[in-house]
Amino acid sequence: MSENAKQILKQVFGYEEFHPGQEELVSAVLSGRDAVGIMPTGGGKSICYQLPAIMSKGMTIVISPLISLMSDQVQALKEAGVEAAYLNSSLDSAAFFNTVERAKRGDFKLLYVAPERLDTGLFEELASSLKINMIAVDEAHCISQWGQNFRPSYLKIAGFIKSMRYRPVVAAYTATATLRVRVDIINALGLDDPLVKISGFDRKNLYFEVRKPDSKKRELLAAIRERRGKNGIIYCSTRKNVESVYKLLDGKGYLVRRYHAGLSDAERMRNQDDFLYDRANIMVATNAFGMGIDKSNVAYVVHYNMPKSIEAYYQECGRAGRDGSDAECILFYSPADVRMNKFLIELSVNENQGLNDERRRELLDRDEQLLRDMTFYAFTDACLRKYILEYFGDKPDTYCKNCWNCNNEFKEFDATTSARAIVNTVYLICARGWPYGKSMVVDILKGAKNEKVRKAGFDRLRTFGELAKSPRSRLFNIIERMVYDELLEEAGDKYPTIVPGSRSEIIRSPEFGYIIKIPAERRAAAKEEPMQTDFDKGLYEQLRELRSKRATDDKVPAYIIFPDKTLSDMCRMLPTSPEAFLSISGVGELKLEKYGDAFMDVIKNWMESNGDSELE
């Protein structure tokens, strides 16, 4: 099997070698064994079922949660010369029934369907007429109520499998699954002694950073300016925030689109296509956007609001750098994110009418623990990557040197005196009958003589000016840490105020001590920016222009023709013969035949104009 599989891997997909875990999963399903593949986003999950489907007789049914995911994968397969199709609501009735008839004739190696379609009479009739050799369940964490994207429709899959006259091989794939979710996947799908292959959760090309800005909007504008022209996704927790950030960036002239459930289906699809086809390079979205989006050249993901769990965060980060290029994942944290997430958690659980009190309490406890794990990520001074990998059960040996915490020093600071002064000030303010926000607390401690302080009479408080020599940024940092440690609590949504926390009384103890670590001032990531000159940028842009033209002509996203990494390799290796062009990672035989001459002509012309006559 191994040599045949490798031959098809290169011939169809353009890759010389398997990624870790792929070969074992391919071998398992080809031998008739069920399988579970846990692979990081960009680790090549789709090849684990596409390649066996190509090598096997009969058809593979791929159960997939999103129309965009199906469309992307089917387009990419067709570009590689593999007959594939999907059945979903995006097809008009003529196209739908034409696909059904072609499927009955055996025209397709892979047929993608949504789980909601499995128990419809039409699909049951179709399935009974097909020779189905494999069922692949993509985004399999959706079947677990302990996963972050639970979809009740996924529970239909087991019944569909049982209804079949003969049982095909069943394989499940996902990028993010804790041990509990993995057990759920196996049990819920009824897998029979499956090979469980975990190829690791690490995405070494992703850089991680947490920022706690005074103004998220100001920080975001600075971050976008630094990355102008690059493709990025900005995740927000609510539709309101999506609209606010979208208007901010649109008003500054950026090519930006928005995506959330409050938009019409037509606008969501139009905005998504603009992003996928590079007509816009920034997408501002809720978590409704992105699962299964295969855009390979996303250079950064910014979380404008903190997600509710590490699983959700890491999956959304996984949309960056899918082609292996360096990419950045930046989280903007504020205490208000914790309050908003607690509200959303309670709303979601309490609105579920199918829960009894015990189950409701269980889910609340679970989700609140997931939120605590996510919040601690925002405050840890250890390696951010190590924190994430250990959460999923990996055991990284060393710090990564590719996250903010690894690349910057943290200094221990005795904040005992400051913490006492801050809590005392908060008590004094609240005793006046009306709490204020962080800025007022800092103004009082710094001894600010502005009108707002004087008008409230706070310049007469005994703590006024007590920390006059402390930098404002440090006081804000200490207050945020104290909120996390429950010495303080931030209340209110529109106008957040500071009140004593559940543990504030401990500062009165003579034994109280408060040692925290203060990060250095933020500076640019230590890694070099992608595309900094081990190849010629002019040639790269010429190849991109050609790719863009061909993508427009063929009506497919540019990355489906060739991802950015393949163009970069062309610039480095300068292939001018079919054999050399075929050796580029990501170039299969059909793509050589379809695109090779045009791309090699660009390379030859560039070499001649730059005085390089050593054409292969």
Q: Give pLDDT, residue 238.
A: 92
Can 2-198 and 206-407 be said to share one CATH topology?
yes
Q: Please give the DSSP secondary-structure letter assigned to residue 370.
A: H
Residue indicated by tokens 């009082």: 444
Mean pLDDT value across residues 490-509: 84
Tell me the C-alpha distance between 553 and 550, whole Å: 5
Per-domain boundaries in the chain: 2-198, 206-407, 414-519, 537-609
Q: What are phi and psi of 534, to 5 degrees?
A: -95, 10
Distance CA 155, CA 158 (A): 6
pTM for the whole thing?
0.74
Least confident of 39-43, 178-182, 451-455: 39-43
Task: Write the DSSP string, 98-143.
Answer: HHHHHHHTT--SEEEE-GGGTTSHHHHHHHHHS-EEEEEESSGGGG
Distance in angstroms (rounded) separating the CA atoms of residues 419 and 477: 11
Residue 403 DSSP one-character state: B
Between vectors from CA 261 to CA 256 and to CA 266, what angle results, nearest 5°? Answer: 70
Q: What are phi and psi of 538, to 5 degrees?
A: -65, -45
pLDDT at 526 over 60: no
Determine which helix (DSSP H) or strand (DSSP E) holds 519, and give its type and residue range.
strand 515-519
Tokens of 61: 């049914």
- Whole-number Å distance between alpha carbons of 578 and 601: 12
What is the rounded average pLDDT of the residues 280-305? 86
Mean pLDDT within 354-365? 81
What kind and span of H or E run contains 235? strand 231-235
> What's the pLDDT score for residue 532?
47
pLDDT digits (tens, 9 = 90+) for 195-229: 999 887 888 899 999 999 889 999 999 999 999 98
- Tens-digit pLDDT profile for residues 386-418: 999 988 888 776 678 899 988 887 778 899 999
Q: How, if at all, do strands 410-414 and 515-519 pair?
A: antiparallel
- Residues with Cβ < 8 Å from 188, sequence gap 6 or more? 143, 144, 154, 155, 157, 158
Give dist(CA 197, CA 187) in Å, integer: 16
CATH annotation of 2-198: 3.40.50.300
User: Does 302 have pLDDT greater than 60?
Assistant: yes
Helix (DSSP H) and strand (DSSP E) numbers for the chain: 25, 17
Confidence band of 230 (pLDDT split at 50, 70, 90): very high
For the 537-609 domain, the top CATH level (class) is: mainly alpha
Report the alpha-carbon distance of residue 399 to residue 405 in Å, rounded. Answer: 9
- The answer to whether 230 and 213 are in contact (CB under 8 A) is no
Whether the pLDDT of residue 531 is over 70: the answer is no
* CATH number for the domain running over 206-407: 3.40.50.300
Task: Please state, in angstroms and as integers, the Cα–Cα distance from residue 478 to each residue in 42, 115, 214, 441, 586, following that order.
Answer: 38, 49, 13, 12, 49
Q: Give the percent of the chain with pLDDT over 90.
A: 52
- Model confidence at 112, in pLDDT bands (50, 70, 90)? very high
Cα separation of 228 and 248, whole Å? 15
- Using alpha carbons, select from 199, 170, 145 the residue that is nearest to residue 311: 145
What DSSP string describes 130-185?
Answer: S-EEEEEESSGGGG-TTSTT--GGGGHHHHHHHTSSSPPEEEEEES---HHHHHHH
Pick the CATH number of 414-519 from 1.10.760.10, 1.10.3720.10, 1.10.10.10, 3.40.50.720: 1.10.10.10
| C-alpha span between 242 and 237 (Å, rounded) | 8
Q: How far is the C-alpha of 453 from the C-alpha of 223, rounded, in Å?
A: 33
Mean predicted lDDT score pLDDT of the chain: 88
Tokens representing residue 576 in the block: 């001018």
**β strands within 271-382, DSSP E:** 282-285, 298-303, 327-332
